[in-house]
A and B are shown apart, each in its own frame.
Chain A
Amino acid sequence: MKRKYSPARLRDAGQGYLFMSPALFVLLLFVIGPILYAIFLSFNDVQLLGGTSYKFVAFENFAKILDDTRAKIALWNTFKYVVIVVPCQTILALILAATLNAGLKGEKLFRIIYFLPTLTSSAVLTLIFMWMYNQNGLINNLLSMIGLPTYNWMGDPAVALNAIMIMNIWSTAPFFMVIYLAALQDVPDSLYEAAELDGAGPIKKFWYITVPNLRPVTSFVVIMGIIGTFQLFDQSYIFSGGSGGPNNSTLTVVLLIYQYAFKNFGTMGYAAALAFALALVILVATLLQRKFSKEESLY
């Protein structure tokens, strides 16, 4: 055992803190400090006129959430969005990964193509889709060409959120596909060979070997999906010009937090309370998902 304060140990500790110092600085000033500050804000009325002033209101901000119709609409929209987008993007990612992993020619090229949406910024993707969703735009033209009904994608409250869902399933699935692809490398070939000897076809092999073996990764993908989808903001902001319209149909929780914090006056404390409520919802959703996936786990 070394002495507690030997010069070598002290030097080591000093070097350790020196190496950590930039990270510590940013963590304290822009992450941990702000979390504590956010707790404080959520219990106060915050006024930004001139300087910043606070008035302690205890749980009033949190109680207000229950009476806020727009908060309920935003939560409902976000919930619908999560429940539809997460399963769709996960299944699509899994199918694409399994197909890409089948050892066909041109795999690399397909992988590069599929990855384009992941590279492209949400702002650009949203603008491209708005251009295609135009009343006389590409999508409506394609739909009418094959005899399907056309929609007023951006103006009709009944379909506006669906338009964002379609776009986001399309743009996030490839990212999760790559995670699946990496995981597929670890599924032992011997399992497939054994199944083949037993006469299993490709669909059976996919369903009885690939899917169960990927369950831990699926769990990860679903959790990441839940966390990501609950935080939907850019797309609905750009899509609706920041309003969440038409008729609140694309209003998400984060967009509402943004509006209360930076567009309305005197509701910053309330916005902080909403942000905590969102964090709590995300936490509960991920814990629930974890619990379910553990129960049916293979191992």
Chain B
Amino acid sequence: MKKRSVGRNILYVILVGYAIITLIPFLWALSSSFKTLEEIVSGSMNFIPKDFTFDNYKTIFIEQELFPRWLFNSVFIASVATALNLIFNSMAGYALARLSFPGKNALFVIILAVLMIPAQVTMIPNYLILKELGWLNSYQGMIAPSMINATFIFMMRQFFINFPKELEEAALIDGLNRFGIFFKVVLPLARPALAAQTIFVFMGIWNDFMRPLIVLSDPNLYTLPLGLNTFKGQYISYWNYIMAASMIFTLPVLLIYAFFNKYFIKGISFTGGK
């Protein structure tokens, strides 16, 4: 038994050690966001600020009047695109799992094939197409291309294939049509899959750097990742401001994660090809 506890202690050392390695960057950023510029410049290495201050947060919201706008743009684009993804991916997944129509199998293969194409191939033509449509520098230019996601169409198909048919048949007898069945019976029961999808799609769009970099050139329409990048250029040595902005940027995703946490692992094993 003694040998066992030695083994356990080693495992704990690994776990705690790696937890520290994971946390240090975040704690350091958080603590820097509450430090005064003087303390930052003096190169102090303490994690607890000497003069604890909220000024950095106040400054980025007041002096950088675009910052609230960026926050709004990010929230707006990510929420709308996520909502559309939930509806459209589920509809497509449902059709591929349950309805029969000519070309269904070919479509399914195409959706799988699309998963393999690296985004860089479509990034240049997408720019030109959005330019033709006059959608550069617009919310629709950001939202429309990302309102479906092949990964989650695939995931929803897998989910609906295992969904009990009897429920739908009962609803059919009760006089609901296909849309009624889908929106009133099927979708409410797909909640775990939808929750997992919400986290991943929201995170993906919220954190995306490349699409906004290409589509948006008007600072008024920037999302937070782009805003943060220009912010860095502008306040190059004001790391207290940059860290405060970074913390604000991270908060919404943490909240969503906390809220949907229990679906998280499930979602990864859905998408993880298992």
Task: Check if A and B associate.
Answer: yes
Measured CB to CB, the residues of A under 8 A from B are: 9, 12-17, 19-20, 22-24, 26-27, 29-35, 37-38, 41, 52, 95-96, 99-100, 102, 104, 106, 110, 112-117, 119-125, 127-132, 134, 136, 138, 141, 170, 174-175, 178-179, 181-183, 202, 217, 220, 227, 230-231, 233-234, 237-238, 241, 254, 257-258, 261-262, 268, 271-272, 275-276, 278-279, 282-283
Q: Does B117 contact A (CB under 8 A)?
A: yes
Question: In the complex, are the beta carbons of B124 and A275 less than 8 A apart?
Answer: yes
Interface residues in B222-260 by Cβ distance below 8 A to A read 224-225, 228-229, 232-233, 239, 242-243, 246, 249-250, 253-254, 257
Bound: A183/B274 CA distance, A = 8
Q: Which residues of A contact B87 (CB under 8 A)?
A: 22
Bound: A275/B225 CA distance, A = 24
Question: In the complex, are the beta carbons of B8 and A33 less than 8 A apart?
Answer: no
Interface residues in B145-183 by Cβ distance below 8 A to A read 145, 147-148, 150, 153, 178, 182
Question: In the complex, are the beta carbons of A26 and B29 less than 8 A apart?
Answer: no
Question: In the complex, are the beta carbons of A15 and B178 less than 8 A apart?
Answer: yes
Contact (A120, B250) CB under 8 Å given A23-B88, A35-B122, A262-B127: yes
Q: Which residues of B contact A123 (CB under 8 A)?
A: 207, 209, 224-225, 228-229, 249
Bound: A134/B91 CA distance, A = 49
Q: Which residues of A contact B232 (CB under 8 A)?
A: 127, 130, 238
Q: Does B203 contact A (CB under 8 A)?
A: yes
Measured CB to CB, the residues of B under 8 A from A are: 7-8, 11-12, 14-15, 18-19, 21-26, 28-29, 32, 43, 45, 84, 87-89, 91-92, 94-96, 99-102, 104, 107, 110-111, 114, 116-129, 131, 144-145, 147-148, 150, 153, 178, 182, 203, 206-207, 209-210, 213-214, 224-225, 228-229, 232-233, 239, 242-243, 246, 249-250, 253-254, 257, 261, 264-265, 268-269, 272-274
Question: In the complex, are the beta carbons of A38 and B107 less than 8 A apart?
Answer: no
Question: In the complex, are the beta carbons of B99 and A16 less than 8 A apart?
Answer: yes
Question: In the complex, are the beta carbons of B22 and A117 less than 8 A apart?
Answer: yes
Bound: A19/B268 CA distance, A = 26
Q: Which of A99, A178, A258 meets B11, CB within 8 Å? A: A99
Contact (A275, B25) CB under 8 Å given A19-B94, A30-B145, A119-B203: no
Q: Which of A22, A132, A141, A268 meets B91, CB within 8 Å? A: A22
Q: Which of B11, B18, B110, B125 meets A114, CB within 8 Å? A: B18
Question: In the complex, are the beta carbons of A119 and B129 less than 8 A apart?
Answer: no
Q: Which residues of B contact A9 (CB under 8 A)?
A: 100
Bound: A230/B91 CA distance, A = 32
Question: In the complex, are the beta carbons of B129 and A33 less than 8 A apart?
Answer: yes
Question: In the complex, are the beta carbons of A15 and B99 less than 8 A apart?
Answer: yes
Question: In the complex, are the beta carbons of A113 and B250 less than 8 A apart?
Answer: no
Question: In the complex, are the beta carbons of A119 and B254 less than 8 A apart?
Answer: yes
Q: Could you list 16 further interchain pairs (A-B, Cβ under 8 angstroms) beyond the known A12-B101, A234-B209, A275-B118?
A: A20-B107, A22-B148, A23-B91, A29-B144, A30-B145, A33-B125, A41-B128, A104-B12, A119-B253, A121-B253, A124-B225, A128-B246, A238-B232, A257-B120, A257-B123, A268-B124
Bound: A113/B22 CA distance, A = 7
Q: Which of B12, B26, B28, B274 meets A182, CB within 8 Å? A: B274
Question: In the complex, are the beta carbons of A31 and B104 less than 8 A apart?
Answer: no
Question: In the complex, are the beta carbons of A27 and B22 less than 8 A apart?
Answer: no
Question: In the complex, are the beta carbons of A16 and B95 less than 8 A apart?
Answer: yes
Question: In the complex, are the beta carbons of A26 and B126 less than 8 A apart?
Answer: no
Chain B nearest CB, measured from A123 CB (Å)? 4
A31 to B, closest residue via Cβ: B114
Contact (A26, B99) CB under 8 Å given A110-B15, A113-B22, A275-B121: no
Q: Which of B43, B95, B111, B209 meets A27, CB within 8 Å? A: B111
B128 to A, closest residue via Cβ: A52
Chain A nearest CB, measured from B99 CB (Å)? 4
Question: In the complex, are the beta carbons of A100 and B243 less than 8 A apart?
Answer: no
Q: Which residues of B contact A220 (CB under 8 A)?
A: 272-273
Bound: A37/B18 CA distance, A = 46
Question: In the complex, are the beta carbons of B272 and A179 less than 8 A apart?
Answer: yes
Bound: A3/B101 CA distance, A = 14
Contact (A95, B14) CB under 8 Å given A23-B153, A141-B45, A268-B124: yes
Question: In the complex, are the beta carbons of B242 and A127 less than 8 A apart?
Answer: yes
Bound: A23/B274 CA distance, A = 24
Question: In the complex, are the beta carbons of B243 and A30 less than 8 A apart?
Answer: no
Q: Which residues of A contact B274 (CB under 8 A)?
A: 179, 182-183, 217
Bound: A30/B145 CA distance, A = 6
Q: Which of B25, B206, B224, B264 meets A128, CB within 8 Å? A: B25
Question: In the complex, are the beta carbons of B123 and A127 less than 8 A apart?
Answer: no
Q: Which residues of B contact A217 (CB under 8 A)?
A: 274
Chain B nearest CB, measured from A107 CB (Å)? 8
Chain A nearest CB, measured from B238 CB (Å)? 11
